[in-house]
Amino acid sequence: MSEARTMTNTVTVIGLGPMGQAIARVLLLAGREVTVWNRTVEKAIHLEELGARIAATPREAIRQSEIVLISVRGNDLVRRILTDAEVAGTAAILLNLSSDTPASARQLAAWVADQGIRYLGGTMLTPSALVGQSGSTAVLGGDRAVYEKARSILEIVAPELSYFGDDPGAVAALDLALLDAFWTTVAGWSHAVALGRAEGLNANSLVERLTSIVHLAAQVGTGISHDAEAGKYPGEVSTIASAHTTLRHLLQASADRALDTGVPGAIEGLLRRAVDQSRGEDGPSRLVSMIEQGG
Protein backbone atom coordinates (compact mmCIF):
# COMPACT_ATOMS: atom_id res chain seq x y z
CA MET A 1 0.00 0.00 0.00
CA SER A 2 1.50 3.38 -1.00
CA GLU A 3 1.82 6.17 1.55
CA ALA A 4 -0.75 8.29 -0.30
CA ARG A 5 -3.22 5.45 -0.23
CA THR A 6 -5.22 5.99 2.94
CA MET A 7 -7.83 3.45 3.87
CA THR A 8 -10.66 5.96 3.52
CA ASN A 9 -9.76 6.31 -0.14
CA THR A 10 -9.97 2.64 -0.94
CA VAL A 11 -13.23 1.14 -2.09
CA THR A 12 -14.10 -2.23 -3.51
CA VAL A 13 -17.18 -2.71 -5.68
CA ILE A 14 -18.48 -6.25 -6.04
CA GLY A 15 -21.09 -6.76 -8.75
CA LEU A 16 -20.87 -4.91 -12.01
CA GLY A 17 -24.40 -4.87 -13.34
CA PRO A 18 -25.63 -1.44 -14.45
CA MET A 19 -25.74 -0.27 -10.81
CA GLY A 20 -22.32 -1.57 -9.75
CA GLN A 21 -20.69 -0.20 -12.89
CA ALA A 22 -22.21 3.24 -12.27
CA ILE A 23 -21.07 3.20 -8.63
CA ALA A 24 -17.53 2.19 -9.55
CA ARG A 25 -17.36 4.83 -12.26
CA VAL A 26 -18.37 7.75 -10.03
CA LEU A 27 -15.96 6.63 -7.32
CA LEU A 28 -13.13 6.50 -9.85
CA LEU A 29 -14.07 9.92 -11.23
CA ALA A 30 -14.06 11.22 -7.63
CA GLY A 31 -10.44 10.08 -7.32
CA ARG A 32 -10.93 7.05 -5.11
CA GLU A 33 -8.82 3.93 -5.48
CA VAL A 34 -11.30 1.35 -6.68
CA THR A 35 -11.00 -2.41 -6.82
CA VAL A 36 -13.72 -4.33 -8.64
CA TRP A 37 -14.83 -7.91 -8.91
CA ASN A 38 -17.57 -9.36 -11.06
CA ARG A 39 -18.47 -12.92 -12.07
CA THR A 40 -18.27 -11.81 -15.70
CA VAL A 41 -14.90 -10.10 -15.84
CA GLU A 42 -15.52 -8.45 -19.22
CA LYS A 43 -17.79 -5.91 -17.51
CA ALA A 44 -14.77 -4.63 -15.58
CA ILE A 45 -12.59 -3.80 -18.60
CA HIS A 46 -13.83 -0.25 -19.21
CA LEU A 47 -13.47 0.45 -15.47
CA GLU A 48 -9.87 -0.76 -15.61
CA GLU A 49 -9.32 1.84 -18.34
CA LEU A 50 -10.58 4.46 -15.85
CA GLY A 51 -8.07 3.24 -13.28
CA ALA A 52 -9.85 0.43 -11.45
CA ARG A 53 -7.96 -2.59 -10.25
CA ILE A 54 -9.59 -5.90 -11.14
CA ALA A 55 -9.45 -8.50 -8.40
CA ALA A 56 -9.26 -12.14 -9.39
CA THR A 57 -11.56 -13.34 -6.62
CA PRO A 58 -14.08 -11.87 -4.14
CA ARG A 59 -11.67 -12.90 -1.40
CA GLU A 60 -8.95 -10.72 -2.87
CA ALA A 61 -11.39 -7.88 -3.64
CA ILE A 62 -12.69 -7.66 -0.08
CA ARG A 63 -9.20 -7.46 1.36
CA GLN A 64 -8.15 -4.52 -0.84
CA SER A 65 -10.24 -1.77 0.72
CA GLU A 66 -11.72 -0.43 3.89
CA ILE A 67 -15.13 0.00 2.28
CA VAL A 68 -16.74 -2.78 0.23
CA LEU A 69 -19.91 -2.03 -1.72
CA ILE A 70 -21.80 -5.02 -3.04
CA SER A 71 -24.57 -4.72 -5.61
CA VAL A 72 -25.80 -8.00 -7.08
CA ARG A 73 -29.11 -9.63 -7.88
CA GLY A 74 -30.29 -10.45 -4.36
CA ASN A 75 -29.06 -11.53 -0.95
CA ASP A 76 -28.62 -15.24 -1.74
CA LEU A 77 -25.86 -14.17 -4.10
CA VAL A 78 -24.42 -11.76 -1.54
CA ARG A 79 -24.16 -14.54 1.00
CA ARG A 80 -22.69 -16.98 -1.52
CA ILE A 81 -20.07 -14.43 -2.60
CA LEU A 82 -19.17 -13.56 0.99
CA THR A 83 -18.94 -17.23 1.91
CA ASP A 84 -16.62 -17.90 -1.03
CA ALA A 85 -14.60 -14.88 0.07
CA GLU A 86 -14.12 -16.36 3.57
CA VAL A 87 -15.18 -12.99 4.86
CA ALA A 88 -15.11 -13.78 8.59
CA GLY A 89 -13.02 -11.35 10.55
CA THR A 90 -12.05 -9.07 7.66
CA ALA A 91 -11.57 -5.42 8.54
CA ALA A 92 -13.61 -3.93 5.72
CA ILE A 93 -16.94 -2.20 6.25
CA LEU A 94 -19.43 -4.03 4.08
CA LEU A 95 -22.24 -2.03 2.43
CA ASN A 96 -24.82 -4.22 0.76
CA LEU A 97 -26.90 -2.35 -1.83
CA SER A 98 -28.62 -5.42 -3.26
CA SER A 99 -32.42 -5.43 -3.16
CA ASP A 100 -34.26 -8.34 -1.57
CA THR A 101 -36.98 -9.14 0.98
CA PRO A 102 -37.02 -7.71 4.53
CA ALA A 103 -36.65 -11.24 5.94
CA SER A 104 -33.58 -11.98 3.83
CA ALA A 105 -32.08 -8.58 4.72
CA ARG A 106 -32.43 -9.38 8.43
CA GLN A 107 -31.08 -12.92 8.02
CA LEU A 108 -28.09 -11.65 6.09
CA ALA A 109 -27.39 -8.89 8.63
CA ALA A 110 -27.47 -11.46 11.45
CA TRP A 111 -25.18 -13.83 9.53
CA VAL A 112 -22.71 -11.05 8.75
CA ALA A 113 -22.73 -9.95 12.39
CA ASP A 114 -21.81 -13.53 13.34
CA GLN A 115 -18.82 -13.22 11.03
CA GLY A 116 -17.64 -10.18 13.00
CA ILE A 117 -18.07 -7.78 10.07
CA ARG A 118 -19.13 -4.15 10.25
CA TYR A 119 -22.16 -4.02 7.99
CA LEU A 120 -24.94 -1.83 6.60
CA GLY A 121 -27.82 -2.98 4.44
CA GLY A 122 -29.26 -0.46 2.05
CA THR A 123 -30.76 0.39 -1.25
CA MET A 124 -30.26 2.81 -4.09
CA LEU A 125 -33.49 4.69 -4.75
CA THR A 126 -32.11 6.08 -7.97
CA PRO A 127 -31.68 4.53 -11.41
CA SER A 128 -28.13 3.61 -12.34
CA ALA A 129 -27.95 6.39 -14.94
CA LEU A 130 -28.30 9.02 -12.18
CA VAL A 131 -25.79 7.60 -9.68
CA GLY A 132 -23.53 10.32 -8.30
CA GLN A 133 -25.68 13.17 -9.56
CA SER A 134 -27.35 15.67 -7.26
CA GLY A 135 -30.64 14.18 -6.12
CA SER A 136 -29.29 10.64 -6.31
CA THR A 137 -30.67 8.88 -3.25
CA ALA A 138 -29.61 5.96 -1.08
CA VAL A 139 -30.99 4.71 2.23
CA LEU A 140 -28.93 2.65 4.68
CA GLY A 141 -29.74 0.73 7.83
CA GLY A 142 -27.54 -0.77 10.54
CA ASP A 143 -25.13 0.48 13.16
CA ARG A 144 -25.12 4.29 13.18
CA ALA A 145 -21.39 4.46 13.93
CA VAL A 146 -20.67 2.32 10.87
CA TYR A 147 -22.90 4.60 8.81
CA GLU A 148 -20.93 7.64 9.93
CA LYS A 149 -17.65 5.94 8.97
CA ALA A 150 -18.93 5.00 5.50
CA ARG A 151 -20.76 8.24 4.89
CA SER A 152 -18.11 10.14 2.92
CA ILE A 153 -17.90 7.33 0.36
CA LEU A 154 -21.64 6.80 0.16
CA GLU A 155 -22.25 10.52 -0.42
CA ILE A 156 -20.15 10.36 -3.58
CA VAL A 157 -22.50 7.70 -4.92
CA ALA A 158 -25.70 9.23 -3.56
CA PRO A 159 -25.54 12.84 -2.35
CA GLU A 160 -29.07 12.49 -0.94
CA LEU A 161 -28.07 9.91 1.61
CA SER A 162 -30.15 8.96 4.60
CA TYR A 163 -29.86 6.72 7.63
CA PHE A 164 -33.02 4.66 8.24
CA GLY A 165 -32.32 3.19 11.68
CA ASP A 166 -30.59 0.09 12.89
CA ASP A 167 -32.71 -2.50 11.02
CA PRO A 168 -31.61 -3.32 7.44
CA GLY A 169 -34.93 -5.18 7.11
CA ALA A 170 -36.77 -1.86 7.39
CA VAL A 171 -34.71 -0.49 4.51
CA ALA A 172 -35.62 -3.54 2.43
CA ALA A 173 -39.30 -2.97 3.32
CA LEU A 174 -39.06 0.65 2.17
CA ASP A 175 -37.32 -0.45 -1.02
CA LEU A 176 -39.96 -3.08 -1.84
CA ALA A 177 -42.87 -0.76 -1.01
CA LEU A 178 -41.49 1.78 -3.47
CA LEU A 179 -40.81 -0.88 -6.09
CA ASP A 180 -44.34 -2.22 -5.53
CA ALA A 181 -45.82 1.17 -6.39
CA PHE A 182 -43.35 1.65 -9.22
CA TRP A 183 -43.92 -1.66 -10.99
CA THR A 184 -47.68 -1.73 -10.60
CA THR A 185 -47.75 1.79 -12.05
CA VAL A 186 -45.45 0.79 -14.91
CA ALA A 187 -47.55 -2.32 -15.57
CA GLY A 188 -50.75 -0.24 -15.55
CA TRP A 189 -49.19 2.30 -17.90
CA SER A 190 -48.07 -0.52 -20.21
CA HIS A 191 -51.55 -2.02 -20.27
CA ALA A 192 -53.04 1.40 -21.00
CA VAL A 193 -50.66 1.86 -23.92
CA ALA A 194 -51.51 -1.60 -25.29
CA LEU A 195 -55.24 -0.96 -24.97
CA GLY A 196 -54.96 2.47 -26.55
CA ARG A 197 -52.88 1.13 -29.45
CA ALA A 198 -55.29 -1.77 -29.96
CA GLU A 199 -58.04 0.83 -30.37
CA GLY A 200 -56.02 2.93 -32.82
CA LEU A 201 -54.62 5.56 -30.45
CA ASN A 202 -51.01 6.60 -30.80
CA ALA A 203 -48.98 5.78 -27.67
CA ASN A 204 -47.17 9.12 -27.81
CA SER A 205 -50.46 11.01 -27.86
CA LEU A 206 -51.37 9.39 -24.53
CA VAL A 207 -48.29 10.45 -22.61
CA GLU A 208 -49.48 13.80 -21.28
CA ARG A 209 -52.85 12.53 -20.07
CA LEU A 210 -51.36 9.35 -18.62
CA THR A 211 -48.89 11.50 -16.71
CA SER A 212 -51.76 13.58 -15.30
CA ILE A 213 -53.66 10.52 -14.19
CA VAL A 214 -50.59 9.04 -12.49
CA HIS A 215 -50.33 12.32 -10.57
CA LEU A 216 -54.01 12.00 -9.68
CA ALA A 217 -53.35 8.45 -8.47
CA ALA A 218 -50.66 9.88 -6.19
CA GLN A 219 -53.22 12.29 -4.69
CA VAL A 220 -55.67 9.43 -4.13
CA GLY A 221 -52.80 7.39 -2.71
CA THR A 222 -52.04 10.12 -0.19
CA GLY A 223 -55.61 9.84 1.10
CA ILE A 224 -55.35 6.05 1.16
CA SER A 225 -52.19 6.26 3.29
CA HIS A 226 -53.85 8.58 5.82
CA ASP A 227 -57.03 6.46 5.89
CA ALA A 228 -55.05 3.22 6.35
CA GLU A 229 -53.42 4.59 9.48
CA ALA A 230 -56.78 5.98 10.73
CA GLY A 231 -58.65 2.73 9.92
CA LYS A 232 -61.24 4.61 7.82
CA TYR A 233 -62.63 3.76 4.38
CA PRO A 234 -64.68 6.80 3.30
CA GLY A 235 -66.66 6.32 0.08
CA GLU A 236 -67.99 9.86 -0.40
CA VAL A 237 -65.80 10.67 -3.40
CA SER A 238 -65.65 7.27 -5.10
CA THR A 239 -66.71 3.76 -4.22
CA ILE A 240 -65.31 0.29 -4.63
CA ALA A 241 -68.54 -0.78 -6.40
CA SER A 242 -68.16 1.93 -9.04
CA ALA A 243 -64.47 1.12 -9.53
CA HIS A 244 -65.38 -2.55 -9.91
CA THR A 245 -67.72 -1.71 -12.80
CA THR A 246 -64.90 0.30 -14.43
CA LEU A 247 -62.53 -2.63 -14.08
CA ARG A 248 -65.07 -4.99 -15.64
CA HIS A 249 -65.31 -2.63 -18.61
CA LEU A 250 -61.54 -2.53 -18.81
CA LEU A 251 -61.34 -6.33 -18.72
CA GLN A 252 -64.01 -6.65 -21.42
CA ALA A 253 -62.32 -4.07 -23.67
CA SER A 254 -59.00 -5.91 -23.22
CA ALA A 255 -60.57 -9.27 -24.02
CA ASP A 256 -62.30 -7.75 -27.07
CA ARG A 257 -58.82 -6.97 -28.45
CA ALA A 258 -57.28 -10.28 -27.28
CA LEU A 259 -54.92 -8.46 -24.90
CA ASP A 260 -53.33 -10.04 -21.83
CA THR A 261 -55.74 -9.30 -18.97
CA GLY A 262 -53.42 -10.17 -16.07
CA VAL A 263 -52.94 -6.60 -14.84
CA PRO A 264 -56.57 -5.40 -14.80
CA GLY A 265 -57.68 -8.93 -13.88
CA ALA A 266 -55.78 -8.80 -10.60
CA ILE A 267 -57.37 -5.46 -9.68
CA GLU A 268 -60.84 -6.59 -10.78
CA GLY A 269 -60.50 -9.67 -8.56
CA LEU A 270 -59.57 -7.59 -5.53
CA LEU A 271 -62.47 -5.18 -6.07
CA ARG A 272 -64.89 -8.07 -6.69
CA ARG A 273 -63.95 -9.72 -3.41
CA ALA A 274 -64.56 -6.40 -1.62
CA VAL A 275 -68.01 -6.12 -3.22
CA ASP A 276 -68.77 -9.77 -2.33
CA GLN A 277 -67.92 -8.94 1.28
CA SER A 278 -70.42 -6.04 1.26
CA ARG A 279 -67.65 -3.42 1.09
CA GLY A 280 -68.85 -1.92 -2.21
CA GLU A 281 -69.86 1.42 -0.69
CA ASP A 282 -66.46 1.90 0.93
CA GLY A 283 -63.84 4.06 -0.76
CA PRO A 284 -60.58 2.88 -2.34
CA SER A 285 -58.89 2.91 1.09
CA ARG A 286 -60.69 -0.39 1.71
CA LEU A 287 -58.21 -2.04 -0.68
CA VAL A 288 -55.45 -1.78 1.91
CA SER A 289 -57.42 -3.81 4.44
CA MET A 290 -58.48 -6.29 1.72
CA ILE A 291 -54.82 -6.84 0.86
CA GLU A 292 -53.86 -7.06 4.54
CA GLN A 293 -56.48 -9.76 5.08
CA GLY A 294 -55.11 -11.71 2.10
CA GLY A 295 -58.17 -10.71 0.04
38 touches ligand NAP by CB under 6 A? yes
Q: CA nearest 69: which of 38, 42, 41?
A: 38
CA R_g for the chain: 23
The DSSP H or E segment spanning 96 is strand 93-96
17 touches ligand NAP by CB under 6 A? yes
Among 67, 68, 72, 95, which residue interacts with ligand NAP (rule: CB under 6 A)?
72
The DSSP H or E segment spanning 47 is helix 45-49
Q: CA nearest 248: which of 273, 265, 262?
A: 265
Among 9, 10, 65, 98, which residue interacts with ligand NAP (rule: CB under 6 A)?
98
Residue 57, phi then psi, degrees to nearest 5:
-140, 160
Nearer to ligand NAP, 7 or 50 (CB): 50
Q: What is the spatial distance between Cα 204 and Cα 193, in angstroms, rounded to a whole number?
A: 9
What is the smallest separation between the CB atom of 42 and ligand NAP, expressed in angstroms? 8
Among 77, 174, 206, 220, which residue interacts with ligand NAP (rule: CB under 6 A)?
77
Among 70, 108, 120, 124, which residue interacts with ligand NAP (rule: CB under 6 A)?
124
Question: What are the residues whose beta carbons fall under 8 Å from the beta carbon of 219, sequence distance 6 or more?
Answer: none
Region binding ligand NAP by CB under 6 A among candidate stretches 85-93, 97-105, 153-161, 260-268? 97-105
Among 71, 90, 104, 136, which residue interacts with ligand NAP (rule: CB under 6 A)?
71
174 touches ligand NAP by CB under 6 A? no
Asked whether the beta carbons of 25 and 47 are under 8 A apart, the reply is: yes
Q: Please report, as ranges, the residues that interact with ligand NAP according to CB under 6 A.
A: 15-20, 38-40, 43, 71-73, 77, 97-99, 124, 127-128
